A and B are shown apart, each in its own frame.
Chain A
Amino acid sequence: MLTDTIQKALAPLNLAKVAPGDYAKTGYHLEVAAAPAQLPALAQAMLNTGCFLESLTAVDVSPEAFTLVYHFANFKELCRTVVHASLPKGTEPPTLSQIYPGADWYEREVYDLFGIRFAGHPNLTRILLPEDADFHPLLKEFGAGDAGTGD
């Protein structure tokens, strides 16, 4: 089972949490919590088990912190791993673009929309918004505009 292989591969990294997920409810087979500094080693271990980086994003959870969210999946066997990493605002997580070149654009997107700077990224520039934009729209403080909720 791939879940076991991944759990074994992640064991030496001393991660805060590596636990089976409730697939029917969340779509995850494995839930992992890590510190931002552990991410490159974690990504390397995931690559070694043949997993690809499905998605990389962030959530603005509170005025003090973001949560970085990484999804990994596998071409051969069904096993989705989610990695949550809590990131205090104002700090820089390490880039994964040297391990997964596909992370390059994802990290640019997270920088563009959240203002999170990835340390060691080769070309951390805006990707979706204009170069001269002076805001990061997915920050909760950016506000909502009034689309109306129908309530």
Chain B
Amino acid sequence: MLEPGIEEKTFVLNLGPQHPSTHGVLRILLEMDGEYIAKADPVIGYGHRGHEHMAENRNYLQFLPNMGRVDYLHALAYNQCWCMAVEKLLGITVPERAEFIRVITNELNRITSHLLWFGAYLMDLGAFTPFLYCFDDREHILDLLDRVTGSRLTYCYYRFGGVPSDIDREFIDGCFAFIDRFRSRWKDYDNLVTKNVIFINRTKGVGIITPEMALKYGITGPNLRGSGIPYDIRKSEPYSAYPLFNFEIPIGENGDIFDRYVVRLAEMEQSLRIVEQALVKLPNGPIMAEKVPKRIKPPAGEVYQAVETARGEFGIYIVSQGEVKPYRVKLRVPSFATLSFFPEMAKDNLVADAVANLGSIDVVIPEIDR
């Protein structure tokens, strides 16, 4: 604070990533009072592709690949949500084996998303080494998912009524091998990061999200659970085969960056548990429902379907007027709500903490822009 009598002056600072070749372009206008932020104003929309508009001009199947490009880090959850919403409109029941395969691949995808966050976030904070460890581990999952889905990032593996191709022995063995390998890494991650004094000092007590604020802004996912609220769609609004597996919802206490970090790390272990159980219990049977119409033309009506992605609640709202194309599709993306809280989070804090805060809420910009 300035002494009385001296004129107070603020200046404006642009906070990136702003380069067009980065995977998500976000600009934050910071009005600075010295090292402190007086006002933060996120500018979004650089990656707006108009997915909701595209949905109105494509038939239901044609829109399916768009889903992998909204949040490309957890594409399978988005894929699943669209399939489930359309299945709900059509009244299709998915065979059990297909649900198991969806859960297995979806949870592996969740781990890749958390691993990427983990590595990229620590790089934001100036630690380069963990990034290499994470990408090493992540690579193993990408190989596994590549084998069944045919792609490494923008997956489009689920179909209305099931999945198009079955998993094989090599995939199953590969998953078990990965689970063993990944579990042996926890010790390294803890020693490298969780117990790291610099990391602890930068994250404890910083960037607090209170449960009241989460409620008013509609913040979901690990950002909410870090504040001690065990809200996870997989448990609270069970879908697919999730009710058949034992897993916990890790929560934090203080809602600070450190708690969000701990929650995401613990969630990866829970995902491993789910994958493990699903592989052991994997039932035999068909992977595709029998009576899926070739021409998808749902009856008139509306539907809301939610799933838990790596970043929180993703919801699809479809209005059908009985045509081959949806009349209106709204994509409720978790990062949109989370980023809208950022100005409040950053206000009156150090600019150095703004970087730590922004990384800690794990936003994927193309998902916000849609």
B interface footprint on A35-74 (CB within 8 Å = 1, 0 otherwise): 0000000000001001011110101100000000101010
Q: Are A128 and B45 in contact (CB under 8 A)?
A: yes
B369 on the interface (CB 8 Å rule)? yes
Known A27-B304, A57-B330, A104-B340: A149·B324 in contact at CB below 8 Å: yes
Residues of A within 8 A of B370 (CB): 128
Chain A contact residues: over half helix, strand or loop, or mixed? loop
Interface residues of A in 125-150 (CB under 8 A from B): 126-130, 137-138, 144-145, 147-150
B202 on the interface (CB 8 Å rule)? no
Known A26-B301, A53-B218, A55-B317: A145·B369 in contact at CB below 8 Å: no
Residues of B within 8 A of A126 (CB): 45
Q: Are A150 and B53 in contact (CB under 8 A)?
A: no
Q: How far is the CA of A100 from the CA of B319 in the complex (A)?
A: 25
Q: Are A52 and B218 in contact (CB under 8 A)?
A: yes
B interface footprint on A13-42 (CB within 8 Å = 1, 0 otherwise): 000000000000111100000000000000
Q: How far is the CA of A128 from the CA of B368 in the complex (A)?
A: 9
B231 on the interface (CB 8 Å rule)? yes
Known A75-B224, A145-B57, A149-B325: A102·B340 in contact at CB below 8 Å: yes
Q: Are B315 and A54 in contact (CB under 8 A)?
A: yes
Closest residue of chain A to B238 (Cβ to Cβ) is: A78
Chain B contact residues: over half helix, strand or loop, or mixed? mixed
Residues of B within 8 A of A106 (CB): 336
Closest residue of chain B to A51 (Cβ to Cβ) is: B215
A80 on the interface (CB 8 Å rule)? yes
Q: How far is the CA of A52 from the CA of B313 in the complex (A)?
A: 12
Known A53-B218, A78-B236, A149-B325: A102·B88 in contact at CB below 8 Å: no
Task: Other than A59-B319, A73-B306, A149-B58, give 13 A-B pairs with Cβ distance below 8 A.
Answer: A27-B88, A27-B306, A47-B216, A52-B215, A55-B332, A59-B327, A75-B224, A82-B304, A102-B340, A104-B340, A105-B336, A105-B340, A151-B295
Which residues of A line the B interface, CB within 8 A?
25-28, 47, 50, 52-55, 57, 59-60, 69, 71, 73, 75-76, 78, 80, 82, 100-102, 104-106, 113, 126-130, 137-138, 144-145, 147-151
> Which 3 pairs of residues, A with B, have the shortest CB-CB distance?
A102-B217, A27-B304, A55-B332
Which residues of B line the A interface, CB within 8 A?
44-45, 48, 50, 52-54, 56-59, 61-62, 88, 214-219, 224, 229, 231, 236-237, 295, 301-306, 313, 315, 317, 319, 324-325, 327-328, 330, 332, 336-337, 340-341, 344, 369-370
